[in-house]
Amino acid sequence: MNNLIEKIKGSETIVITSHYSPDGDSIGSSTALYHALRSLNKEVYIIIDDVLPQNLKFLYNEVTINKSDDIKLQNYILVSLDCGDKSRLCCSQSIKENAESIINIDHHASNDSFGNINYVDSKASSTCELIYNIICAIDENLIDKKIGKCLYTGLITDTGNFMYSNATPSSFVMASNLINIGIDKQNIIENIYQSNPLNLVKLIGEVIGTLNVLEERIAYIQVTKEIMNKYNVDFNDIDGIVNYARDIFGVEVGILFKEKSPNEIKVSFRSKSYVNVNEIAGKFRGGGHKRASGCTINMSLNDAKEVVLRETIKYI
């Protein structure tokens, strides 16, 4: 980490970017690092060429986030956060190419160390935990309530509020320290977990009606295009519904079937303890992790359900 810190200290202009489809950890780590570097009197830019999620406004309304075309840059280093693959960086090609140096900070196991300097730790809960370590190593006193709020957000969004197995002892110690600093934890919780769109909640109620259990171990829910239209809910906002299927007593695998269009069915898999759903998704040219995976099937909703359930039964 020392050469990383030396590089940052020795640079005047620092550009921060992250992956497409920004989330709590990418925005949280970007804004936290932004505030810390501003305290060190650096010229700092965050570039995200994508739509920013509404529920993270409480973080990004305290900084300026630019698009690649907004600014003219020269003599800068590029800090890539939470992004395992250079091609998924959410900035223009020229910003990547013209950087004097790229610092790659990430916790994805798939990260191929594409930076000139790499700080990649796949055991870390979140990129925010790595940024916390870096800022502490620079100067512990830099971490104030504003930075703490950003870091706590990434920590909880990437660990399911400490529910997932990636929440390690150090994640809990970090949380403890941030609360000691005086962050308004309840306000963060309200923004992240207690601000569901009414229409989404109504949609959830209706689609739970489609919940079915197969062989006592597989539970599945379907969401048709028609229902998404009825409630005006975006296709990308309904992934969490798969948890209602998984979190039933005795169920090992939860599956969500989402009808993106009449012959394009997105399937999300979640398992609890022993089924490797990465393998099941792999049978349909999808992938992911052992406990969370997905695939796309170009069939009707009913046909997709049939082939996927037939395959899943083999694993329970």
Binding residues (CB under 8 A) for a second copy: these are: 161-163, 165, 167-173, 175-177, 179-180, 185-187, 189-190, 193-198, 201-202, 204-209, 211, 213, 219, 244, 246-250, 272-273
Q: CA-to-CA distance for 154 and 26, rounded, in angstroms?
A: 7
Q: How far apart are CB 170 and a second copy at their closest, in Å?
A: 7
- R_g of the chain, CA atoms, integer Å: 21
Q: Cβ atoms within 10 A of the Cβ of 5, count?
A: 15
Residues pairing with 16 in the sheet: 46, 79
The nearer residue to a second copy, 204 or 308, going by C-beta atoms, is 204
Q: How far apart are CB 277 and a second copy at their closest, in Å?
A: 15
The nearer residue to a second copy, 170 or 276, going by C-beta atoms, is 170
Q: How far apart are CB 217 and a second copy at their closest, in Å?
A: 12
What DSSP state is assigned to residue 89? B
Q: How far apart are CB 195 and a second copy at their closest, in Å?
A: 4
Q: CA-to-CA distance for 31 and 120, rounded, in angstroms?
A: 19
Phi-psi region of 172 (alpha: psi -120 to 50; beta: other; left: phi over 0): alpha
CB 3 within 8 A of CB 66: no
Q: How far apart are CB 21 and a second copy at their closest, in Å?
A: 21
Q: CA-to-CA distance for 247 and 49, rounded, in angstroms?
A: 36
What DSSP state is assigned to residue 292? E
Token representation of residue 15: 């550009």
The nearer residue to a second copy, 185 or 283, going by C-beta atoms, is 185
85-108 in b/e burial notation, b at 16+ Cβ within 10 A?
A: eeeebbbeeebbeebeebbbbbbb
Q: How far apart are CB 150 and a second copy at their closest, in Å?
A: 18
The nearer residue to a second copy, 17 or 171, going by C-beta atoms, is 171
The nearer residue to a second copy, 74 or 165, going by C-beta atoms, is 165
Q: CA-to-CA distance for 68 and 122, rounded, in angstroms?
A: 29
Q: How far apart are CB 144 and a second copy at their closest, in Å?
A: 16
The nearer residue to a second copy, 64 or 187, going by C-beta atoms, is 187
The nearer residue to a second copy, 131 or 207, going by C-beta atoms, is 207
The single residue listed with the structure tokens 């989404």 is: 200
